Amino acid sequence: MPSIRNLAALVTAMGVATIAEAHHSFAPHFDSSKPVSISGTVKEFEARNPHSYVHIDAVDENGRTREYTCESHGVTQLTRNGLSPAMLKAGTKIRVTGSLSRHSPYMCFFDSVEFEDGRKLSVNGPTGPRQVPVVAPRKDIFGTWLLAPIANRQTSGPQPMIELMTPAGQKAVAGYDPFKDDPTFRCDPVAIRRVWGAPATPLEVVRNGSDVVLHHEWMDVRRVIHMNMKDHPANAKMTRAGHSIGRWEGDVLIVDTARFLPGILNGAVPNSDKLHVVERFSLDPATMKLPRTYEADDSVYLKGV
């Protein structure tokens, strides 16, 4: 069977200072060498994931009031870092600083917000030494977790999996265009392999009736694991995250996923609609970590290993 395997570990998110993660590629859209400072009045705040947008009425270089649109992290990350939607109500006077858009002089990515009373907040969270993780005791896999760093793991650029490509896979890799094919460039949901490569971002594992739901804050990827199905329905909708069915073997959750849309598995590595993934999740009570094993096979693009 053409397959790839890897192991990812997760730790609990309680009391951990998080790292800011860009949901799409920053450099093609914004120029960090061109800082901006915009003072004005909030017209609207779009509190969304994976990105939020603040619309500001401000005076331009010609002395005219016009609307500036500045992007930042998703609303869950902003709120966790101290900037809630209630703080950016219409009519609020603010000054944002950040990087100029490459597409318009009236757009930016903002890194900080200063209010009329002098308060200033960084959207990337507090600076200084990071807190030591406080790991709360767990009895099962359910709850909120924080993705731990994976040694030598890259989510973009050349991937070790390229060595496992079939001729068709090698041809697809050669034709890869990050500006057209990388889903993060468009803020589209990423494949379920790549979403685990965003360290220090939260994952929530919850029950929803008979189903289990995995919700990643990064890219706002939400996966429903159907626990009452033994097979994937032939008419199940094909998506980037596929269609998942699950079962328990003791305390181990086994997730079988198929029905993927063709796309990018990770980096420049493609996947076809034949991609099939099996994951296993189980709590490690000694370390309070949630290891995840991953096996994938794709008869179109991956050679046997």
Residues of the chain with CATH 2.40.50.140: 30-122
- Residues 194 and 167: their CA atoms lie apart, in Å, by 23
pLDDT of residue 91: 97
Q: Looking at 31-45, 74-88, 96-110, which range is the least confident one? A: 74-88
Average pLDDT, the chain: 82
Which of 238, 197, 252 is closest to 21 using CA atoms? Answer: 197
Class for domain 30-122, per CATH?
mainly beta
pLDDT digits (tens, 9 = 90+) for 192-209: 887 887 777 788 999 999
Query: What percent of the chain lies above the pLDDT cut of 90?
Result: 46
Q: What are phi and psi of 77, to 5 degrees?
A: -70, -40
Q: What are phi and psi of 180, to 5 degrees?
A: -105, -35
| pLDDT surpassing 60 at residue 5 | no
Amino acid at 130: R
> Can you tell me the mean pLDDT for 174-187?
72
- Residues 71 and 52: their CA atoms lie apart, in Å, by 6
End-to-end Cα spacing for the chain: 8
> Can you tell me the mean pLDDT for 139-167?
73
Confidence (pTM):
0.68
Q: Are 206 and 229 in contact (CB under 8 A)?
A: no
pLDDT digits (tens, 9 = 90+) for 213-251: 999 887 778 999 999 999 999 999 999 899 999 999 999
pLDDT of residue 18: 33
Find all residues with CB under 8 Å of 78, minimum gap 6, and list them.
47, 52, 72, 84, 123
